[in-house]
Amino acid sequence: MALLALWQALVWATGVPPFILPGPARVGAALVGHAGMLAEHARFTLGNLAAGLLAGVALGIVTALNLALSPLARAMMRPMLVLAQAIPVFALAPVVTLWLGYGPASKVVMVALVVYFPVASVLFDALMRPPPALEDLARAMGATPLRLLWLIQLPNALPALGSGLRLAAVYAPFAVIVGEWVGSSRGLGYLMLMANGRGQTDLMFAALALLAAMGLVLFGLAGALQRLTERRRAKGAGPRRLI
Amino acid sequence: MSTRPDESGRGALPPVLRTPPGIFADQGKEAGAVLIRGDLWLGDRPLARGLDIVCRPGGWTCLMGSSGVGKSTLGRLVAGLPVAARLEGRVTVPAGRVAVMSQQDQLLPWASALANVTIGARLRGERADPERGRRLLAQVGLAGFEDRRPGELSGGQRQRVALARTLIEEAAVVVLDEPFSALDAGTRAAMQDLAAKLLAGRTVILISHDPLEAARLADRAWLIGREGSRPLPLPGGTAPRPLDAPEVLAAQAALFMSLSRPCAV
């Protein structure tokens, strides 16, 4: 709230024209005035964001589990993963748009690509590092590889997966906007470009505000998930003194 | 803390001969025994040469010796765990699983006490028996603690859970690698009593630094040094022997003298 006041004060004090920096009051008015249109574009963006996140996280988890379980998969996929990580995924946006068109598919794929690598690599690293004492225990007890993965490696890696999800939540909104900037006929990113071109700076800021809100909610959700995985652990690992 | 020369060492699997029952009937009184024979090397450095250790079936054998001599390595060899050292010789273990209990409780921090007790069957993909788990937890004095996580238990209670997990395996051979050395003196004595009672009749290999522990629990003790292994004198009588019995205290003192002169092996 203080930030909004400061913003308004800055606008008044400097007398910046509204097409450079609209005050919060104008942005609020644009939010209300164009509510219907903003909602429609926001729905498009949010849908692609959610679909891409789900697909990227799911694929990342499946990849990490497979790599952890199979030395053959590790030998085959590791060079590919290293290569794939060396390419900045955002640079792929024009290619993805070329192949998949202006519709939702290219945005979903962009988000999934950006989310996939941090989730897969963070989870895989954690899966491959079970505590040596537990590894010994499992070996002495004659554990099967699948059971070892499910009962020891995966629970041990859950906090790392939580951090991976937080990273994903940070990157995903970038990816969806870049996807829309490169080529789209709908979405908040598209709307921003349009508003910018027509000098409707207040509308552009309104779209930006919605994007920021989406990012914050996403980050909050990922943080909640991460705390959940860590509490599960903390309850066991450390002394329970608080509460 | 540990005599394992390289904690991260995940070397090649050792030469362990697991004898199926009945095949080596001509072993005579060594049938069912755990035998450790040969030289233990770490790289090109000998840790212990000329080992000749017999752990009689159904008895408690204590392995003693200074840190770094390879006691824990021998325990890991018996359990079939990878070691950084190399044994030029042979470890003979009767067929079947070997249960291990170590100084770290090796409990899953995210799982309840009961789930930790029944983890072995689940890791093998067998059906877990929670009722037996409960009974064993009750036997180690933890009735009512089934749902507690390890973080909610004291060090002694965690080792009790680890003992119940060792018992449920029903292994003929049990390796105890300094299982009580991190506990305070009173808790340690109580755990020794409990372990002696519940593991009676199994072939137990106890790796310990503590002369009193050996004097109370072991049927036989071996001193391991650079130049080999030799049996140490112990008082007779059933374990756990009383803490304050004169012969136990005398044996403790004698073991102490032997341990402080490891070169005399």
DSSP secondary structure of B140-203: TT-TT-TT--GGGS-HHHHHHHHHHHHHHTT-SEEEEESTTTTS-HHHHHHHHHHHHHHTTTSE
What is the pLDDT at residue A243?
A: 30
**B70-104 burial by CB neighbour count: b if 16+ within 10 A, else e?**
bbbbbbbbbbbbebbbbbebebbbbeebbbbbbbb
What is the pLDDT at residue A59?
A: 95
Domain stops at, among B121, B153, B170: B170
Handedness of CA A65, A69, A73, A74 (dihedral sign): positive
Residue A125 CA to residue A164 CA, distance in Å, equals 11
- Tell me which of A5-9, B90-94, B132-136 is least confident: A5-9
Whether residues B132 and B65 fall in one domain: no
Whether residues B93 and B59 fall in one domain: yes
Selecting from A139, A142, A236 the residue whose C-beta is nearest the C-beta of B109 gives: A236
Question: Under a CB-based contact definition with an 8 Å cutoff, are residues B159 and B105 in contact?
Answer: yes
Whether residues B197 and B254 fall in one domain: yes
Q: Is B171 on the interface with A (CB under 8 A)?
A: no
What is the pLDDT at residue B10?
A: 44
Picking from B107, B108, B123, B124 by the largest number of A CB atoms within 10 A of its own CB, the best residue to mutate is B123
Chains A & B: contacts with CB separation below 8 Å: 81
- Domain boundaries A25-235, CATH class: mainly alpha
Whether residues B40 and B138 fall in one domain: no
* Gap from A229 CA to chain B (nearest CA, Å): 10
Whether residues B91 and B182 fall in one domain: yes
Whether residues B136 and B178 fall in one domain: no
Residue A155 CA to residue A150 CA, distance in Å, equals 7
Selecting from A133, A151, A239 the residue whose C-beta is nearest the C-beta of B119 gives: A151
Question: Under a CB-based contact definition with an 8 Å cutoff, are residues A184 and A16 in contact?
Answer: no
Domain stops at, among B148, B170, B192: B170
The tokens describing A62, both together, are 């499946």
pLDDT at residue A101 above 60? Answer: yes
Residues of A with CB under 8 A from a CB of B: 132-134, 136-144, 146-148, 151-152, 155-156, 158, 232-240
Could you read off the pLDDT of B194-215 as tens digits, one per residue?
999 999 889 999 999 888 999 8
More confident residue, B253 or A152: A152
Searching chain B, which residue's CA lies closest to the CA of residue A141?
A: B120
Whether residues B165 and B180 fall in one domain: no
pLDDT at residue B259 above 60? Answer: yes
Percentage of chain A lying above the pLDDT 90 cut: 47
Picking from B10, B108, B154 by the largest number of A CB atoms within 10 A of its own CB, the best residue to mutate is B108
Selecting from A141, A148, A235 the residue whose C-beta is nearest the C-beta of B149 gives: A235
224-253 of B, contacting A, C-beta below 8 A: none
pLDDT at residue B22 above 50? Answer: no
pLDDT at residue A23 above 90? Answer: no
pLDDT at residue A55 above 90? Answer: yes
- How confident is the prediction for chain B on average, in pLDDT? 84
Quote the number of domains for chain B: 2
Please state the rounded mean pLDDT for residues A236-240: 40
Whether residues B93 and B219 fall in one domain: yes
Reported as a pLDDT band with limits 50, 70 and 90, residue B11 is very low
Reported as a pLDDT band with limits 50, 70 and 90, residue B9 is very low
Whether residues B260 and B194 fall in one domain: yes
Percentage of chain B lying above the pLDDT 70 cut: 87
What is the pLDDT at residue B30?
A: 65
Task: List chain A residues with CB under 8 Å of B150.
Answer: 236-237
**Domain that includes residue B48, residue range:** 2-97+172-264
Please state the rounded mean pLDDT for residues B84-94: 89
Whether residues B182 and B141 fall in one domain: no
What is the pLDDT at residue A242?
A: 35
Selecting from A143, A156, A240 the residue whose C-beta is nearest the C-beta of B124 gives: A143
